[in-house]
Chains A and B, each alone.
Chain A
Amino acid sequence: MTHDEVQDLLGAYALDAVDDDERALVEDHLAECPRCRAEVHDHREVAALLAHGGQDAPEGIWDRIVGSLEEAPPALRLAPMAIPDPTADGTTSTGVNPLSASRRAPRRVVAALAAAAAVAIVAVLGVQVRQQNEQIDDLQVALDDPLSAAYSSALTDPASKVIELTSADGATRLRGALADDGVGYLRADELPELPDDRTYQLWGAAGDELVSLGVLGADPGIVSFPAAAYELFAITEEAAPGVVTSANPPVVAGSTA
């Protein structure tokens, strides 16, 4: 369907007055045409004004909603952070410090994110976190950690990709691997331990989406996370128990080398 043909349908589409085939065609086009997307949103705002019934919803619905919420509490839900745009003033002091090999992609991501800072993209993701006793040294952490074997095999598998997350000053370097099956592993034990009311939080970015991959706790060891959809990773420090969106600069950031 051409742009013009889709345009003709936008009014009907916005009112759900197209059939399923047309809807699919329009949505394909909308995915790549911001102008048509904007038009649909305009139409829906107008429709919303027409819709208003000026009445209250009947009593009892809210109670049923609350009842449903308690039956199925969400397990884990996190969202993207807004990170400062390091290109805004020509410096990179507050922004992501990507590896040199992958500088281009993160810049694009960061710029897109800055533009969409208010957007709340939320994902339901599981993350396994293994917290370690602070007194054990790094080597022991790696050996004792229940994820150690999986981490080692991911790191040595030629099919997996190596990731490195570094701090802006280069002093902190975390290594990890993205296994072929989409699971990422990161040795985060080099991060300084935080007070109890603070936590590290891991974020992943793909395109203009930035999604929390998990709350790592105050003193993380090896962590595993769903990595398949992401190119850029960052860790921030947040108030416990973690945040939905963050304005904090990353403690470390990086992507697949």
Chain B
Amino acid sequence: MHGYAGQWLRVDLSSGKSWVEPLDETRARRYLGGRGMGARILLDEVPRGGDPLGPENRLVFAMGPLAGTFAPGSGRFVVLAKSPATDGFGEAYTGGFVAHELKYAGYDGIVVQGRAAELVYLAIVNDRVEIRPAGHLAGRGTLETEAAIAGELGDRETRVISIGLAGEKRVLYACVMNDTDRAAGRTGLGAVMGAKNLKAIAIRGTGRVTLADPKRFREHALADLAKIRKHPWLGDSPGSAGALGTAGGVEDLSNAGILPTRNWETGTWEYADRISGTAMKNTILLGHRACQACPVGCTRVVQVLGGPFGGVRPEYGGPEYETVAAFGSLCENPDLEAIALLNQRCNVYGLDTISAGSAIAFAMECFEQGILTEREIGFRLDWGDAPAMVRLLDMIARREGVGDLLAEGARRAAAKLGRGASDLAVEVKGLEFGMHEARGKKGLALSYATAPRGADHMEGFHDPSLAVPNAWPELGVTEAMDRFILEGKPRVVRLAEDYTSFINCLPLCSFMSLTVGGIRNTDEISGMLSAATGWTDLTFAEEMAIGERAYNLARAFTVRESGGTADDRLPAKLSRRLRDGASRAQVITDRDLQPALQEYYRLRGWSETGTPTETKLTELGLADVARQLAGQGDGR
């Protein structure tokens, strides 16, 4: 089977056994890889109501048919498990060099089950798989862990997936890290890895990935590269993601009133220019680098030698947009060097910068309102107090003092605090918002409310992309739409989600696709997929169906685990008017959302309460999932 390695690695940490399972082509074509394969495995193998931190959870690492090739943006894999943050579908994508290496080692994915008796790491050198003791790596940061393991295996080309202290301590937004500064950030999968006593996975692969039609594959890849290089944001321009990073647009966001500021009080900030990509370029930036097979290179590389936030090293990369906003405007902290240090500590500890910044901003507002006191915290926590932010971040990673409470995430922390704290927690289903203001992007509010992971900025679409007509004719989206309007958006949200979901099954970097990056490259991606696999009869409609199938699997998992109530609600903050700026006075309440929600469910073929119907699931070839949702056991 071309494009694929043709087998998955299975590891049971309880018994210490590992084995391989062949991947058959029918299954590959239905689910592709990435999200599709991962969600299928979670539904099949994680028991209903299972403990996310128990041995029964599955930790899945999934590639697809393009990893290992030079398809632009193919250096990508996805980590999945039942999420300890949301108790629903847990998933996080990451770049770097691991995806290619795992394919060369001979695997399309790994499923880890059980729990090791003591801290261990998994060493994979081609077909040799070994579970090795990792007690000496306990508490170590990413870089130290990687160096120690590469030394033990005697090969500096070894690639490493690992967790830091936060994962070991089961912080509910701990990441799975790889290649030092790449993070599978969201939904707390580092805690799942920690709960399995799995410190790291080391990979070395010297095999190959073959293609059904190398010549045609190469032509499509070159055509895709040409489009990417000509793209205003991903190409060579001075304002591109390569030149300025993903934080290049911070000032524009502030001007549009959608830069999350002061725990979502406002969307505009007077100090936006101090934390932007341009500010970074003019101060702490050494340069940029790329993930494997990426022509863009949005990764920042920064250095801060001395001063109060010194010791920031180039090995740990630098802050991207989400991080800049979460530790910057959201906490009203204008100090870019502090943001760089907080980013580095998150990479060392293995913490999701979005949820960590959100937890600190939440705590700052609690402090301001007297819900959390100086005595409870141990120090004052005023807006913009960068040294206090660093102290608090350390406490979260170590679960010390109030850090232990905040390590539970905003929803759980607010519930424990009471005193009206829940009004200050900005999350859906337990997942904190990505740094995107839904009151100024109404279509995004719908996908925040409904996405399988919770408040997910990567599923739907960002309304400003549709400000001009003919944005996505491939999807039948031709009319320009106002970003403050919800009418007409449910159809577009659904289409964008299904196409993005297809991209997530490959998986390919979202930036190098139509719905997120805005590149008109659907033909090139189809071309590469069919030339890699030999599926010459592959159509765009089939790709959309693959995306929709995977989306419904993810949704079904979240619905199954929530006991049937989808909890598609927006947080209280969004019903408060944005204080000032170009999106001033905008709100969106659950009542505003209802008509759009019902229209969206109808378009999706879901019930009035948001459960995928038997008809829809059967149409997608998932009749067995309908039986699971009807309460007839789980997939086992």
A is bound by B: no
User: Which residues of A come within 8 Å of B, CB atoms?
Assistant: none
User: Which residues of B come within 8 Å of A, CB atoms?
Assistant: none
